Amino acid sequence: MAAIESDVSAIIQSNAQESEHISTAKKLGLWNMWVAFTAFIIALPMGLYQVAERSDLFPALESAQVYYASISTHGVLMAYVFSTFFIMGFGYHTAGYSLQQKLWSTKFAWSGFIIALFGVVLAAIPLLTGNASVMYTFYPPEVGHPIFYIGATLLIVGSWFWSVDMIVAMTQWKKANPGKVVPLVMFGVTINALLWLWTSAGVAAEVVFQIIPVTLGLTETFDPGLARTLFSWTLHAIVYFWLFPAYIVMYSIMPKEAGGKLFSDEMGRVAFVMLFIFSVPIGFHHLYMDPQQAAGWKLLHMFGTFMVAVPTLITGFTILATLEISGRLRGGKGLLGWVSRIKWDNPVVLGTALAMLMLTVGGWGGVINASYSMNSLIHNTQWVPGHFHLIYGGTTVIMYFAVAYWLWPKIIGRALYSNKMALIQLWSWFFGMWITTAPWHILGLLGQPRRVNTLPYDTAIAALWDPYEMVMLAGSLLLTVSGFLFIINLVMTHLNTRKQDDMSVTYAVAVHQPMHVPKLLNSLSFWNWAMLCYMIISYGYPIIQFAFIGTPQSTPWSY
Amino acid sequence: MKNKEHEIVLSEDEQRKILESSPRGTWAILAIYAVIFTLSWLYFWFGLFVNHGPVK
C-alpha cells in the first residue's frame, strides 16, 4: 500500500514537474516570439516606404533624413530584433518539449529576455529620432549616438543568456541520459546557440573596443579597416544563425506534418555541424574590394564560402527526399507523381517547399557573390540587398511564419483562426518576395548602387531603372499586405473561441531512427575546438596585423 | 499542386518498399537543378563578366 502511495506521489510530482517546464517553455516561447513579430510588423511598412522613396516617383516622400532613419530602423528591427527573439523563443520551446526537463534557471532565462528587450528599447530611441541613421551594418566611419550601440550591445548580451541556457540544457540532458542520442531538433538548436556565441563575438569586439569609445568621446579615432574586418566576422555567419531554425524545422517538424518520415537523421546532424564550422571563418567575401586585407586571405575565405554550399545541398536533398516519401505514402506514383500528393494545405509543408524554392535561387546568387572576380559585377549594387532579402526575407522568414502557425495553437490552446488565410499569406509572401527581389537583382546588374536614397545620375541610364522600380513597388506592397495578414491571423487566434484539439508537440522520426550515432554527431566540444582552430587560421593574422601596420591617424584597439 | 484528401491505405509491405527505395524523383529534380545552376553560372562568367571587360 505504501509502495502504491509512493508511486502515485512520484507520478503526481513528475506531472507537476512536467507542467512546470512545459509552462515555462510556452511562456518564454510566446513572449519572445511576440516581441519578434511586433518588431517585424513595425519594420515591414518601412520597407515599402523605402522602395517608394528610392524610386523618385513620389516627390512628397523625398527626404534623405527620413529615408536613412527608416532604413536603419528597418534593418535593425528585421535583422537583429525579429530574428534574435524568434530564435530565442523557438529555442526555449524546443528545449522544454524535446528534452522534457526543467531549464537550469528560469530566472536566468527571463533575465536574458529583459536585458535584450531593454537593449532594444534603448536602441530604438536614437534610431527613431534620427540619431543613429547608420544602417544596420556598423561600418565606420559612420557613427550614431552611443545609446544606439549600448542598446545593441545589451540585445546581444541578453541573447548570450539564451545561448548559455541552451548549451547547459543539452549538457544536463546528456548527463542524465548517458549514451542516448540528443534529439535532432535540440542538437540543431544548441549548435545554433554555439554558432551565435562565435558569430556575435566579432561585432561585440568592434562595438566595445572601437565604436563606443569614440561615440563617448573617450578616444578620438578608430581604424575603419579593423572595424570592417571584425564586422565581416559577424556579417555572414549571422545569416546562418537566422537560417538555422528554418533548417531545424525542415528536418524535425516538417516530416511529421507531411505525414511521412525524415529521410535521414544523420544527414541532418552532418548538415548542422558543417553549417556551424563553415559559416563563421568566411566573412572576407564582404571585403573583396577592401584594401586592408590581402588577396590571399580573400581567396582562402572564398574557398571557405563555397564550402557552405555543401550543407545546403545536403539539406536540399534530404528535405526533398522526405517530401517524396510523404507524397508516395499518400499514393503518389511515377517519377514525379508524388508532388501532387503532398499535403499542400499544411502551412509547415507549404512553407518548406516555398522556402526551398527561394533558397535554390538565393543560394545560386550567393555563389556569384562569393566568386572573387565575379563579385566585382555586383559589389555594392542593388543585387546585394536583393540577394539577402531573398535568403532572409524569403527562405528564412517564410519558415518563421510556418513555425508560428504550427506553434501558436499548441501554446495558447486555441485553434488557428484560419488555415486558409495562412496558406494565402504564405503564397502571397512567396510571390511578393519574387516580385520584389527579381528586379532588385536586375537593377544591381544594371549598375544601380545600394545604400543611397536618390540617384541623380545620367538621366538616360536612370530612366532604364524605372520599370524595375515600379515592379519592386508592387512586390513590396504585396509583402506588406501579406505581413499584416500574418499578424491578423495570430491576433485572431488569440481571440478564437474554438479550442485546439491536438496540443501535443512531437518531432519527426527518421526512416531509420538512430539508437546510436557517432560521438561527433552527438556532441559539440570537438566542433567548438575545430572552430577555434579555423578562426585562428582565417582571422588571426588579418586582425593582428592592425597592431603593427600603423594605419595613419587611427587607433586600432582604443589604446 | 491542388491538394486532395488522399485516404489511401497502403499495406506494410508497400510502406516499407517506399521507405527503403531510392528517392528517384528527388535525384531527377536535383539533376535538373544542377544543370540550370551550372548553365546560369557559365552565363554570368562568359556572358556578363568576361564579356564586360575592364571598367572604362
- Closest A-chain CA to B3: A344
Taking any CB pair shorter than 8 Å as contact, residues of chain B touching chain A are 1-3, 6, 8, 10, 15, 18-20, 23-26, 28-30, 33, 37, 40-41, 44-45, 48-49, 52
Q: Please tell me if residue A511 touches chain B, with a CB cutoff of 8 Å.
A: yes
Q: Please tell me if residue A331 touches chain B, with a CB cutoff of 8 Å.
A: yes
Average pLDDT over residues A272-278: 97
Q: Residue-wise pLDDT tens for chain B (56 aa)?
A: 444 555 678 899 999 999 999 999 999 999 999 999 999 999 999 999 999 887 66
A vs B, Cβ pairs < 8 A, gives 65
| A514, burial (CB in 10 Å: exposed 0-12, middle 13-18, buried 19+) | middle
- Closest A-chain CA to B24: A335
Between residues A555 and A258, the one the model is more confident about: A258
Average pLDDT over residues A46-69: 93
Specify whether A387 is catalytic.
yes
Specify whether A240 is catalytic.
yes
Taking only the tens place, the pLDDT of each residue in A95-119 is 999 999 999 899 999 999 999 999 9
**Of A328, A330, A341, A450, which is the active-site residue?**
A450
- The tally of CA atoms less than 13 A away on the side-chain side of residue A25 is 27
The phi and psi torsions of A65 (rounded to 5 degrees) equal -60, -50
Taking only the tens place, the pLDDT of each residue in A523-554 is 999 999 999 999 999 999 999 998 887 776 66
CA A295 from centroid of its chain's CA atoms: 30
**Of A54, A145, A301, A389, which is the active-site residue?**
A389
Taking only the tens place, the pLDDT of each residue in A344-386 is 999 999 999 999 999 999 999 999 999 999 999 999 999 999 9
For chain A, give the percent of residues with pLDDT over 70: 95
Place A457 in a pLDDT band, splitting at 50, 70 and 90.
confident
Nearest by CB to B6, from A339, A341, A360: name it.
A341
pTM of the shown model: 0.94
**In the predicted model, is pLDDT for residue A271 greater than 80?**
yes
Question: Measured between CA atoms, how close is B23 to chain A, in angstroms?
Answer: 6
Taking only the tens place, the pLDDT of each residue in A326-339 is 999 999 999 999 99
Nearest by CB to B6, from A330, A368, A377: name it.
A330
Specify whether A389 is catalytic.
yes
- Residue A442 contacts residue A375 (beta carbons within 8 Å): no
Place A3 in a pLDDT band, splitting at 50, 70 and 90.
very low
- Residue A409 contacts residue A416 (beta carbons within 8 Å): yes
* CA A255/CA A286 separation, integer angstroms: 36
pLDDT of residue B5: 54
A contact residues 240-269, partner B, Cβ 8 Å cutoff: 261, 263
The mean pLDDT of chain A is 93
Beta bridge partners of A414: A499
What residues in A contact B18, CB-CB < 8 Å?
325, 328-329
- Residue A315 contacts residue B18 (beta carbons within 8 Å): no
A contact residues 53-72, partner B, Cβ 8 Å cutoff: none
Place A140 in a pLDDT band, splitting at 50, 70 and 90.
confident
**In the predicted model, is pLDDT for residue A300 greater than 80?**
yes
Q: Which residues touch A368 (CB under 8 Å, ≥6 apart)?
A: A374, A375, A377, A378, B41, B44
Question: Measured between CA atoms, how close is B1 to chain A, in angstroms?
Answer: 5
Tell me if residue A469 falls in helix, strand or coil: helix
**In the predicted model, is pLDDT for residue A404 greater than 90?**
yes
Specify whether A441 is catalytic.
no
**In the predicted model, is pLDDT for residue A2 greater than 50?**
no
Specify whether A236 is catalytic.
yes
Tell me if residue A305 falls in helix, strand or coil: helix
Q: State whether B19 and A325 contact (CB < 8 Å).
A: yes
**Of A40, A240, A400, A417, which is the active-site residue?**
A240
Q: How many of the other CB atoms lie within 10 Å of CB of A481?
A: 16
Q: Where are the alpha helices (DSSP H) in A236-308?
A: 237-252, 254-257, 265-279, 295-307
Place A11 in a pLDDT band, splitting at 50, 70 and 90.
very low
Residue that has been written with the C-alpha cell 519578434 in this structure:
A36
Residue that has been written with the C-alpha cell 543568456 in this structure:
A161
Specify whether A451 is catalytic.
yes
Specify whether A400 is catalytic.
no
Average pLDDT over residues A213-226: 90
* CA A153/CA A123 separation, integer angstroms: 9
Beta bridge partners of A262: A510
pLDDT of residue B54: 76
pLDDT of residue A342: 97
Torsion of CA A386, A387, A392, A398, to 10 degrees: 70
Taking only the tens place, the pLDDT of each residue in A234-258 is 999 999 999 999 999 999 999 999 9
Nearest CA-CA partner of A354 in A246, A441, A262: A246
Q: Please tell me if residue A360 touches chain B, with a CB cutoff of 8 Å.
A: yes
Q: State whether A261 and B23 contact (CB < 8 Å).
A: no
**Interface test mutation site (partner B, options A265, A322, A328, max chain B beta carbons within 10 A):** A328
Average pLDDT over residues A133-162: 94
- Residue A401 contacts residue A354 (beta carbons within 8 Å): no
Q: Which three cell numbers stand for residue B56?
A: 572604362
**In the predicted model, is pLDDT for residue A90 greater than 70?**
yes
A contact residues 395-454, partner B, Cβ 8 Å cutoff: 445
For chain A, give the percent of residues with pLDDT over 90: 87
Nearest by CB to A263, from B23, B28, B48: name it.
B23
Between residues A18 and A344, the one the model is more confident about: A344
* CA A314/CA A310 separation, integer angstroms: 6
Q: State whether A364 and B41 contact (CB < 8 Å).
A: yes
**In the predicted model, is pLDDT for residue A555 greater than 80?**
no
State the DSSP code for B32: H
Tell me if residue A262 falls in helix, strand or coil: strand
Q: State whether A367 and B49 contact (CB < 8 Å).
A: no
Domains identified in chain A and CATH numbers? 21-544 (1.20.210.10)
Q: Which residues touch B55 (CB under 8 Å, ≥6 apart)?
A: none
**Of A93, A236, A269, A441, which is the active-site residue?**
A236
What residues in A contact B3, CB-CB < 8 Å?
342-345
Q: State whether A511 and B19 contact (CB < 8 Å).
A: yes
* CA A495/CA A15 separation, integer angstroms: 29
Q: Which three cell numbers stand for residue A97?
A: 518539449
**Interface test mutation site (partner A, options B7, B32, B36, B49, max chain A beta carbons within 10 A):** B49
